[in-house]
Amino acid sequence: MGSHAALAPEFLDSVAGKRVLVRSDLNVPLKDGQITDDGRIRASVPTIQALAAAGARVVVTAHLGRPDGAPDPAYSLAPVAKRLGELLGADVAFATDTVGPSAQAVVAGLADGQVAVVENVRFNAGETSKDDAVRGAFAAELARLADAYVSDGFGVVHRKQASVYDIATILPHAMGSLVATEVDVLKRLTENPARPYVVALGGSKVSDKLGVIDNLLEKADKLIIGGGMLFTFLKAQGYEIGASLLEEDQIPTVLDYLDRAKASGVEILLPTDIVVADSFGDAASARVVPATEIPAGTLGLDIGPESGKAFAAALADAKTVFWNGPMGVFEIAAFAEGTRAVAEALTKVDGLSVVGGGDSAAAVRTLGFSDDQFGHISTGGGASLEYLEGKTLPGITVLEA
């Protein structure tokens, strides 16, 4: 892949007075109808702003949650449209459907430089259909709302969906600045990364990260393992893990990784101490035990303080760091310190530090870190991981066709 300029000047020069459909990633967490983390909305603002400033009539399309191909008020983009308007400092019109009478009327009413959001694209079964013809028909309806298309929802570029893939086969298209930035950062993680290169992986399941470990095992200098997945590594080495998370079927794979790492000189760092509790929850009484002596019946819920220090030390001289997945159950204060230690270490990296979307991005914000303390916070967990696994992302390849 060549380097991608964010919204080429010639594209911006061509959009005045035109309707431009932007696929943003506005899939934010909601609680009781309130947005709890607006990071993705903020990340979508620069592209929308640039198009509006160039005189485009901007039509934003996005999904929220996993409605089952039909309208569901719990997943309405209405609160997102309101927040987008606040961040843009401008009125944002909202259509109560995606391609129906409301969307058509709202788009027809836009003046140059104005912005509208249409309702959740996944309220339409055609968006995620596995049938190319069904998806294509829905993409054609979307295309009637616009004269050009900009792909700026990085969190969905690994999905072959109507508003991500098929639409780009119909309309003149461009890559938005958010997607371009993400792709460039991921290239720096996979093609000649500055060394030492450290990959820190957490999260609950080894199986979610298998492809990444597989692809980066020979590229990284050190691999840090935390989160729920660490217990499968400990079990593979014959240690007692109590009632901690375990993916028994992944033990042979983990043993293979440990052998491969040894053979290729990659250091795999596992925790030496663990924070355990007898039960899961806010009231659980936490205590620290050696990683090799987890008492039967207890749950490992975070890496211990010595491991936090060791992981931070391993990150201290890194020139490139990719981190995906919390070190423990960061939502509960007693089990948040391991994740905090790794996040803190990342803020001091003299080089490229990348926080890989999803739970990791939520964790750093929950723990009080600001986005600008890191080199890059990815907006797409799954998309980042698939790119790092070496997979091709349909929403990117279609833009290059």
| Neighbouring C-alpha atoms within 13 Å toward the C-beta of 102 | 11
For residue 2, the model assigns a pLDDT of 35
Q: In the predicted model, what is the mean pLDDT of the chain?
A: 94
Beta bridge partners of residue 276, listed in sequence order: 287, 300
**Contact, 170 vs 143, CB < 8 A?**
yes
**Residue ranges making up the domain that contains 41:** 9-179
| Phi then psi dihedrals of residue 197, to 5 deg | -115, 120
Count structural domains, the chain: 2
In this structure, the answer to whether residues 202 and 170 fall within a common structural domain is: no
Please check whether residue 1 lies inside any domain of the structure.
no
Of 149, 179, 209, the position where a domain reaches its end is 179
Q: CA 43, CA 22: separation in Å to the nearest integer?
A: 13
If phi > 0 it is left, if psi is from -120 to 50 it is alpha, else beta; for residue 368 that is left
Mean pLDDT of 312-316: 97
SS3 of the chain: the string is: CCCCCCCCHHHHHCCCCCEEEEEECCCCCEECCEECCCHHHHHHHHHHHHHHHCCCEEEEECCCCCCCCCCCHHHCCHHHHHHHHHHHCCCEEEECCCCCHHHHHHHHCCCCCCEEEECCHHHCCCCCCCCHHHHHHHHHHHHCCCCEEEEECHHHCCCCCCCCCHHHHCCCEEECHHHHHHHHHHHHHHCCCCCCEEEEECCCCCCCCHHHHHHHCCCCCEEEECCCCHHHHHHHCCCCCCCCCCCHHHHHHHHHHHHHHHHHCCEEECCCEEEEECCCCCCCCCEEEECCCCCCCCEEEEECHHHHHHHHHHHHCCCEEEEECCCCCCCCHHHCHHHHHHHHHHHCCCCEEEECCHHHHHHHHHCCCCHHHCCEECCCHHHHHHHHCCCCCHHHHHHHC
* Amino acid at site 342: V
In this structure, the answer to whether residues 174 and 200 fall within a common structural domain is: no
| Phi then psi dihedrals of residue 282, to 5 deg | -60, -30
In this structure, the answer to whether residues 146 and 115 fall within a common structural domain is: yes
Tell me the angle at which helices 358-366 and 381-388 cross, rounded to the nearest 10 degrees: 130
- Report the binding-site residues for (2R)-3-phosphoglycerate: 40, 122, 159
Of 146, 179, 212, the position where a domain reaches its end is 179
Please check whether residue 185 lies inside any domain of the structure.
no
Q: CA 28, CA 38: separation in Å to the nearest integer?
A: 6
In this structure, the answer to whether residues 210 and 154 fall within a common structural domain is: no
**Contact, 113 vs 89, CB < 8 A?**
no
**Contact, 386 vs 357, CB < 8 A?**
no
In this structure, the answer to whether residues 205 and 145 fall within a common structural domain is: no
- Report the binding-site residues for substrate: 25-27, 40, 63-66, 122, 159
**74-113 residue pLDDT tens:** 999 999 999 999 999 999 999 999 999 999 999 999 999 9
358 is catalytic: yes
Q: CA 202, CA 155: separation in Å to the nearest integer?
A: 19
Distance of CA 97 to the CA centre of its chain: 26
40 is catalytic: yes
Of 179, 214, 229, the position where a domain reaches its end is 179
Q: Is 265 exposed, middle or buried (0-12, 13-18, 19+ CB in 10 A)?
A: exposed
In this structure, the answer to whether residues 149 and 230 fall within a common structural domain is: no
For residue 3, the model assigns a pLDDT of 38
Q: Which of 205, 287, 309, 319 is catalytic?
A: 205
Q: CA 47, CA 61: separation in Å to the nearest integer?
A: 13
In this structure, the answer to whether residues 109 and 132 fall within a common structural domain is: yes
Please check whether residue 358 lies inside any domain of the structure.
yes
In this structure, the answer to whether residues 234 and 375 fall within a common structural domain is: yes
Q: Which of 19, 23, 40, 83 is catalytic?
A: 40
Question: Does 211 or 222 have the greater pLDDT score?
Answer: 222
What the block records as the tokens of 278 is 């007898």
Please check whether residue 291 lies inside any domain of the structure.
yes
Antiparallel, parallel or unpaired: β 30-31 and 34-35 = antiparallel
In this structure, the answer to whether residues 346 and 286 fall within a common structural domain is: yes
Q: Which of 358, 380, 381, 395 is catalytic?
A: 358
Confidence class of residue 6 from pLDDT cuts 50, 70 and 90?
low
Q: CATH no. for residue 116?
A: 3.40.50.1260
- Report the binding-site residues for ATP: 209, 300, 331, 357-360
Percent of the chain whose pLDDT exceeds 90: 84
Please check whether residue 229 lies inside any domain of the structure.
yes
176 is catalytic: no
Beta bridge partners of residue 151, listed in sequence order: 23, 175
Please check whether residue 243 lies inside any domain of the structure.
yes
- Report the binding-site residues: 25-27, 40, 63-66, 122, 159, 209, 300, 331, 357-360
Please check whether residue 400 lies inside any domain of the structure.
no
In this structure, the answer to whether residues 94 and 209 fall within a common structural domain is: no
For residue 283, the model assigns a pLDDT of 82
**321-380 residue pLDDT tens:** 999 999 999 999 999 999 999 999 999 999 999 998 778 888 998 999 998 999 999 888
In this structure, the answer to whether residues 96 and 223 fall within a common structural domain is: no
Q: CA 354, CA 199: separation in Å to the nearest integer?
A: 10
In this structure, the answer to whether residues 208 and 306 fall within a common structural domain is: yes
For residue 291, the model assigns a pLDDT of 97
Please check whether residue 397 lies inside any domain of the structure.
no
391 is catalytic: no
